[in-house]
Amino acid sequence: MSDVRHVLVLPDRDAAEEAVEALGERFGLSEEPQLVQDALAGEDDAEDAQWLVVLRDEEGRLDPAELDSLAGEWEGWREEP
């Protein structure tokens, strides 16, 4: 078993929460993704923070292209490992 993680970068908390809900519906995740606020370098204002959705995929069953597409629905993207 490997420690594979996918990270989706989304523009705000609402988008991140909606993406988490969509991930559960589309992929039937056994584990809730982790939400992390990521302040942009040099930004003091919390309004300018991105939100990360971190998914564990130890079995390698999540398709990176599908995750890219899903993140794009909220003007986000998937970080390459």
Is 36 in contact with 9 (CB distance < 8 Å)?
no
35-64 pLDDT, tens digit per residue, is 999 876 555 555 568 999 999 998 888 999
C-alpha to C-alpha distance for 42 and 44, rounded to whole angstroms: 7
Q: Rounded to two decimals, what is the model's pTM?
A: 0.84
* pLDDT averaged over every residue in the chain: 87
